Structure 1
Amino acid sequence: MAAMLKEYSHSQLSLRNGQDKEEIWIAYQGIIYDVSASRLWYKGKHYEHWAGQDLTHELPDAPHTDKVFAKFSVVGKLKVSG
């Protein structure tokens, strides 16, 4: 599945932070999710987490597991920089 997804750079992801564009995106383990429809991501903020970035390393501190991402649409994959 990941091979067929459109790639987005970190800077493209950062624009979908709930402030610069209407879309609210987050990345987790290289996959970008659209969380725009979630009231928990109002204006790009979810508790102490901000949209428009890779939240892979922040999940261990969350009170939920990665299964929460199944609720959201996949929009693409995060381009590996380097």
Structure 2
Amino acid sequence: MARQPSSYNGKEGQPAYVAVDGVVYDVTNVEAWKDGEHKNGLTAGNELTEEITNQSPHGIKVLEGLPIVGELVE
């Protein structure tokens, strides 16, 4: 059974993953996502397509080169 995305929130030693456009990225070692929280209030363990593509000043480009750990399926 697959774990829920929210369990990958970067807390208590868990990895920090974010999903954008169905792709799940590992942001665990990204300083801007320290402890699973981004400086703009976003939190890891969530689907963030709207926030990253339409509200973020850097857009999805910042995720390029990060490890892809899976895909979000319904």
Q: Same fold (TM over 0.5)?
A: yes
Q: Gapped runs of 5+ residues in structure 1?
A: 1-7
1:71 is paired with a residue whose SS is coil
5+ unaligned residues in a row in structure 2: which ranges?
Answer: none
Q: How many residues align?
A: 71
Structure 1 stretches of at least 4 aligned residues deviating more than 4 Å after TM superposition: none
Q: TM-score, normalised by structure 2?
A: 0.86
Structure holding more strand per residue: 1
What CA RMSD, in Å, does the superposition of the two structures yield over aligned residues? 1.5
Contact kept in structure 2, 1:15 and 1:21, CA below 8 Å: no
Q: Which has more radius of gyration?
A: 1
Structure scoring higher RCO (CA < 8 A, sep ≥ 6) equals 1
Partner of residue 51, structure 2: 58
| TM-score, with length taken from structure 1 | 0.78
State the identity as a percent. Answer: 34
